[in-house]
Copies of this chain bind each other. A is one copy, B any other.
Amino acid sequence: MTQIKAPAAKEPSVSSAVSTINDVARLAGVSIKTVSRVMNDEPNVREETRTKVKEAAARLHYRPNLLARSLAGSRSFLIGLLYDNPSSSYVIDLQQGVIERCRQSGYHVLSEPQDSLAPDIGRAIASLLATIRLDGVILTPPLCDMAVVLDAVEAAGVPYVRVSPSLFPGRSALVEMDDTQAAYEMTQFLLGQGHRDIGFVRGHPEHGSSHRRYDGFIKAMHEAGAEPHSRRIAQGFNSFASGLEAAKALFMDAGNLPTAIFASNDEMAFGVMAYAQQTGVRVPDQVSVVGFDDTPGSMIIWPHLTTIRQPVTDLAYAAADMLLSRASADEDAPNFSDTRRELPFELVMRESAKAV
């Protein structure tokens, strides 16, 4: 298309031909390079020229082609979201937040599931980053705690932000919530409800958050002078089945039940509640049960689960904002890897816990 398209009378129909950067340059009387600069919000364009180009683009209903923009400037307008997480609600909420923020800046998101157990995970990520130019990468657990993954991203020279990492603090920009404090406050809530004999289901030992959540629990119990007997601590592995097994151990002595169980994720709390139901233990009348994560399941079981809400969408927003401001910076932002944001969690009180 070499002719300037006259703008449609009122609203261009969906099938109207798409305007090109050439059309905008002609109408504005500037070079293609200048149009590209304005579209990419690059500096060194006079305000008058910028206005002229934006007006021409608006009249022509011009939308920059991602490929063309990418060639004209140094950016690809693509952000990669790398994940390997069994919780679909966590991934989809995070993805949704990242996409929302990126869209506002004209960026698109490539979702790239990665198998964190694959022995060649580092190579797979290096190859991904060599195949497609990304302006930034967001790494989620457990990928964000794997040195081989961080090595690959750093070797490719792609800026990245980690969401809720447990290891290598200070190695990259990161967003997180305070798991220890959240578990501490949930335990304080239970103590405040008169519970003293509280059982705990630990999370998967290879997840950093498992240890932080346990630490928060123990800290609150210790401060209250209610340190739990070891038979009140069960090891889980973050799954429903492991929660069921943990409940079996914690409910072993039917005549001596704890008054509350704190499972360090929702899935295990659901397992505890299922076991209670199977064995006729009434929740919350006999035993209160609380979880951690506020997954969708917490609203479909009865009683609804008292739990801790991770600010997943806000973590996504913060991670995307960090990357986007970095990508649009003219120079390498100084100390980007020192950037760190902590976002607040929320205790969500529902029906699965009550006062003794």
Contact = CB atoms under 8 A, between A and B. Distances in A.
Interface of A: 14-15, 18, 63-67, 70-71, 76, 88-89, 91-93, 95-96, 99, 106, 108-113, 122-123, 126-127, 130-133, 148, 151-152, 155, 240, 267, 270-271, 273-274, 277-278, 296-297, 299-302
Nearest to A90: B88
Contacts of A133: 65-67
B302 A300 contact: no
A95 B63 CA distance: 27
A102 B255 CA distance: 57
A92 B94 CA distance: 12
Contacts of A66: 131-133
Contacts of A99: 111-113
Given A88-B89, A274-B302, 4 more contacts: A14-B123, A15-B151, A67-B132, A95-B111
B92 A108 contact: no
Given A110-B109, A122-B14, A302-B277, A127 B92 contact: no
A70 B278 CA distance: 58
A71 B64 CA distance: 16
Contacts of A300: 240, 267, 270-271, 274, 297, 300-301
A267 B300 CA distance: 7
B63 A71 contact: no
A61 to B, nearest CB: 9
B110 A108 contact: yes
A65 B132 contact: yes
Contacts of A274: 300-302
Nearest to A122: B14
Contact of A299 (B92, B126, B240): B240
Contact of A67 (B65, B71, B123, B127): B71
A311 B216 CA distance: 42
19 contacts: A14-B155, A15-B155, A18-B130, A63-B127, A63-B131, A65-B132, A65-B133, A66-B133, A67-B70, A67-B71, A67-B133, A88-B91, A88-B93, A89-B89, A95-B111, A99-B112, A267-B300, A296-B297, A300-B300
Contact of A151 (B14, B93, B302): B14
Nearest to A153: B14
A63 B277 CA distance: 55
Instruction: In the A-B complex, list the 4 residue pairs whose CB atoms are closest, starting with the nearest.
Output: A274-B302, A88-B92, A15-B155, A270-B300
Contacts of A132: 65-67, 108
Contacts of A64: 131
